[in-house]
Structure 1
Amino acid sequence: MDLTRLRLLVELRRLGTMTAVSEVTGMGTSAISKHLAVLEREAGVRLLAPDGRRVRLTPAGRRLAEHAVDILGRVEAARAEMAGEGAPVGRIDLVTFVSMTVPVVLPALERLRREHPGVEVRLIEHEPDQALDLLLGGEADLGLIYEYSLVPRRVPEGITLRPVGTEPLFLAQSAATGAGRRTMTRERLRALADAPWIANSRDSDEDELVRRMCAAAGFRPDIRHRIDTLEAVSAIVAAGWGVGLLPKLAAAPRRRGVVHTPLGGLAGVRRIYLAGRSGAWAWLPLRAVARQIRRAACEVLDDVDVAAPPTEDGEAL
């Protein structure tokens, strides 16, 4: 049904006469009558009945006018929301990775619930490759992904990244090895040439980072263990069965028997981004979630700029 015709029906119910509707809308009474006649055909029921020289709404006409008030209100609310007016309302499917969930995402959602209760967030946990697939397929609205500065990630066309912050990288070693906490050097790293290394099961960017870092120190690492659970990685390290590379957030909380040695420039940093479909950043609920994530990230990440880069339409997040 045409929104203009529904508005005319609502005005007729409110004002009572075609003449009054004409004065308010600037439309001639003949044109109003034609629009309402078309609306009757669309509805399939009589909406108007003669009442002397005037017309009145039938019971069906009054009921449709009630529906029209709700329909027009929802349309106006949708337009205001898309234009960035009023409070954000809607659901965001947010895909995140494990080490960001507790220290960043949960505090962000607590603030979001207090400040924008009309925004609902559904969490999905995946690594960056799967997160980008979900975004491209429309199964997620916003994603948290990462890349290593020594292993840049290829971002598919149609996805736009917004930087969140960075975190340093550490080498997890057994405390029994006597490893210190001062920044790792190539010479000290070369001493681990015969050590068993721990990597994840995905043969992903982490593997490439370990290989590049060790190659710069002059050896090829023996990746002996494939473990995805961070708690299990720490347990294996504490038992003296291997060494592994961990970002700052994944290295906390500390486990007894494990020493985290800063890798500094040997490994670079892990860069965290918000990822979304190009053109979606102007949606108010998405921007509200992104802002809260940035605020929470300030407490645990480095290089966080709360004043985010502008969206495609020139507005800041």
Structure 2
Amino acid sequence: METRRLRMLVELSRLGSMRAVADMLGTTTSTVSQQMAALADDMGTALTEPHGRLVRLTPAGRRLAEHAVTILTAVETARHDLAPGSEPNGTLRVAGFATAIRAHLLPIVTALTTSHPRLSILVREHEPAEALRLLAEDATDLALTYDYNLAPAAEDPVVRATALWTARWGLGVPARADIRPGSTLEVFAQLAGQDWIVNSRNTADETVIRTLASMAGFTPRITHQADSLDLVQGMITAGLGVGLLPMGTATFPAVRLVPLTAPDVELRSYAVARHGRLDWPPLALVTDLLVGRSTTGSQSRHLP
């Protein structure tokens, strides 16, 4: 039984389309189809069945996909267990959002230059969905991601997320705005007629805003998008709308940060890696160091 075929089966169970599997693995749909047929021959049972113009896994296919996750994890563990306890060395690829890199990873990189000179860390800045896609494609080893308590990320059995720090968020409004103190929903209700600014590269902020607005009894008018919170503050200053901002961030003179409580809005950060690689010394070392730094205080995304 070839592990390549098991990998295709796992991705087919996750993506639901042979074309999507082919695109992700850099091959052709016909190749995926042939490999699935060969795997079915190996197992002596049908693993897929027609579903409209697509295919879906049979009960046997779903069960084998569950076993395949365990099998592939064991293979990855064996691959990275050749030198247990050895000095971390080689290249660790990390993809993550800007604040996690700036406030947490870069100080670690600087320290490791002296303490572990044989370890090299390759850094790429990406929003969570982008970083997780790179992890699925084996284009990175560690993804630094975040979600919100009001917009939790979907669970993926192929990876393990290690909790890092959390950060409270508030609402950035023009400093001159007449906002009466109150609960989150009371604050939102006062801004029902405003334009709203959301992240241009991640939908979590928008999900939080839409959820709270719905609870407050209105549909928010989402108009502007920006990835940098510096730019979000610039837009608020220019009168283009209001948007979520991390509590404790330094605000522009024309921007006021309104606390959001009951319900609170909390960003939660994670270090995410594929099962089977968690004991690889470079990955284990950097993850442990990130966890250690997270206990020293909260940081928020894209600080100016």
TM over 0.5: yes
Matching residue's letter, 2:244? L
Q: Deviations over 1:32-64 (max 9, x none)?
A: xxxxxxxxxxxxxxxxxxxxxxxxxxxxxxxxx
Taking the TM superposition and a 5 Å limit, the aligned residue runs for 1:197-236 are 197-202=196-201, 204-236=203-235
Counterpart of 2:246 in structure 1 is 247
Counterpart of 1:278 in structure 2 is 275
Counterpart of 1:122 in structure 2 is 122
Give the whole-Å Cα distance in 1 for the aligned partners of 2:173 and 2:259: 11
Give the deviation of 1:259 after TM superposition. 1.4
Give unmatched runs, 5+ long, in structure 2: 1-78, 300-304
Give unmatched runs, 5+ long, in structure 1: 1-77, 303-317
User: In the superposition, relative to structure 1, how do residues 185 and 138 fare at CA in structure 2: closer, same or farther (>3 Å)?
Assistant: closer
Counterpart of 1:150 in structure 2 is 150
Give the whole-Å Cα distance in 2 for the aligned partners of 1:203 and 1:97: 11
Matching residue's letter, 1:116? H
Matching residue's letter, 1:270? L
Q: Deviations over 1:215-259 (max 9, x none)?
A: 1112111111122222111101122221001234xx634322211
User: In the superposition, relative to structure 1, how do residues 290 and 136 fare at CA in structure 2: closer, same or farther (>3 Å)?
Assistant: same
Counterpart of 1:256 in structure 2 is 253
User: In the superposition, relative to structure 1, how do residues 114 and 296 fare at CA in structure 2: closer, same or farther (>3 Å)?
Assistant: farther
1:83 aligns with 2:84: yes
Give the deviation of 1:266 after TM superposition. 2.7
Taking the TM superposition and a 5 Å limit, the aligned residue runs for 1:87-126 are 87-126=87-126
User: In the superposition, relative to structure 1, how do residues 184 and 104 fare at CA in structure 2: closer, same or farther (>3 Å)?
Assistant: farther
Matching residue's letter, 2:226? I
**With structure 2 as the length reference, what TM-score do the two structures score?**
0.66
Q: Deviations over 1:53-81 (max 9, x none)?
A: xxxxxxxxxxxxxxxxxxxxxxxxx9997
Query: Number of paired residues?
Result: 221
**Matched residue SS, 1:252:** coil
* Aligned 8 A contact 2:196 2:221 in 1: yes
User: In the superposition, relative to structure 1, how do residues 108 and 262 fare at CA in structure 2: closer, same or farther (>3 Å)?
Assistant: farther
Give the whole-Å Cα distance in 2 for the aligned partners of 1:203 and 1:128: 7
Matching residue's letter, 1:294? V
Give the whole-Å Cα distance in 2 for the aligned partners of 1:139 and 1:260: 38
Structure ID, larger Rg: 1
Counterpart of 1:57 in structure 2 is none
Give the whole-Å Cα distance in 1 for the aligned partners of 2:82 and 2:257: 47
1:296 aligns with 2:297: no
Give the deviation of 1:178 after TM superposition. 4.5
Q: Deviations over 1:6-31 (max 9, x none)?
A: xxxxxxxxxxxxxxxxxxxxxxxxxx
* Aligned 8 A contact 1:213 1:267 in 2: no
Give the whole-Å Cα distance in 2 for the aligned partners of 1:183 and 1:277: 43
User: In the superposition, relative to structure 1, how do residues 222 and 155 fare at CA in structure 2: closer, same or farther (>3 Å)?
Assistant: same
User: In the superposition, relative to structure 1, how do residues 104 and 151 fare at CA in structure 2: closer, same or farther (>3 Å)?
Assistant: same
**With structure 1 as the length reference, what TM-score do the two structures score?**
0.64
**Matched residue SS, 1:177:** coil
Matching residue's letter, 1:176? R
* Aligned 8 A contact 2:80 2:280 in 1: no
